[in-house]
Amino acid sequence: MSTQRRRFFARALGTAGALVLAGCDKLSRTDWFPKVLNVAEPVNNSIAKTVARMAMAEEFPESALSPSFRSNGTSDPGTDAYVALAQGQFATYKLVVDGLVENPLALTLADVRALPSREQITRHDCVEGWSAIARWKGARLSAILAAAKPKANARYVVFHCADPMNEDGTGFYYESIDFEDAYHEQTILAYDLNRAPLPIANGAPLRLRVERQLGYKQAKYLLRLELVESFAHIEGGNGGYWEDNGYQWFAGI
């Protein structure tokens, strides 16, 4: 079992599973394990996805909702292009899905709202030391990927955002996740926050919710999803704006 796959399953199975998998080589000498492994091998992807889907981020009752959900990082991209989009109520907005896909997409907000969706009350944890519980509704990223048909070598989804991070208007915020998170049950492109259209301060018109990860992975102001085999060639090469500034790429909670 490759290190990557072992980590993958260990994470999906939790602490007990991690301990079992740490002893993976020893276990492979037992009667049952090789059989399980051999059966699993050809359909590894779908089994892995099923296992990973079982590990859910905690969801909360309505009574746990925070009184408000603050904004952090960019609160308005402020570019001419974004201002024009916002002034038109995002009627001309298109979410581009391209890169390693058979079927590139350009989805209007109405298209996105028509896709299979999910609503969830979750806690957002920012590394700067604040948390908040909110209700998010959005299109399942799995549904968008199903429509775009990833090519066999696609491994990551890169999220390109509308907000420049440098004063000269360059260095747009971006993030990336792997397919394990992309196909996760709770991974959505959110268009509603607490049952109202996503405010500009929180990433209008669409932002990522990848609930098992920290705040900086929750990319706001999405313009484009690019499927890639590697993110080494994008910006600083570490898979995200904050990652290029020293944060961990995998920000699991």
Ligand X SMILES: Nc1nc2c(c(=O)[nH]1)N[C@H]1C(S)=C(S)[C@@H](COP(=O)(O)O)O[C@H]1N2
Query: Footprint of ligand X on this chain (CB under 6 A)?
Result: 70-74, 126, 161, 163, 173, 202-203, 215-216, 218-221
List, in sequence order, every residue forming a beta bridge with 140; answer none if it has no partner.
188
Are the C-beta atoms of 160 and 226 separated by less than 8 Å? yes
CB-based contacts of 31-39 (< 8 A; 24+ apart in sequence): 37/1
Between the CA of residue 165 and those of 10, 16, 37, 85, 169, what are the distances in Å? 35, 41, 46, 19, 7
CB of 12 to ligand X, least distance (A): 25
Size of site (CB under 5 A) for Mo ion: 3
- Residues numbered 188 to 217 that lie near Mo ion (CB under 5 A) are 215-216
- Find how far residue 104's CA is from the centre of its chain: 19
Question: Binders of Mo ion among 65-104, rule CB under 5 A?
Answer: none
Give the shortest CB-75-to-ligand X separation in angstroms: 7
Min CB(146)–Mo ion separation in Å? 30
Nearest distance from residue 127's CB to ligand X, in Å?
7
Contact 65, 133 (CB under 8 A): yes
Q: Residue 205 binds which one of Mo ion, ligand X, none, with CB within 5 to 8 A depending on kind?
A: none
Residues 121-150 touching Mo ion, rule: CB under 5 A, are 126
- Residue of this chain nearest to ligand X (CB atom): 73
Q: Rounded distance, CA 201 to CA 20, Å? A: 44
Owner of token pair 């009574």: 63
> Between 72 and 248, whose beta carbon lies closer to ligand X?
72
- Give me the least distance between CB of 132 and ligand X, in Å please: 7
- Binding region for Mo ion (CB under 5 A): 126, 215-216
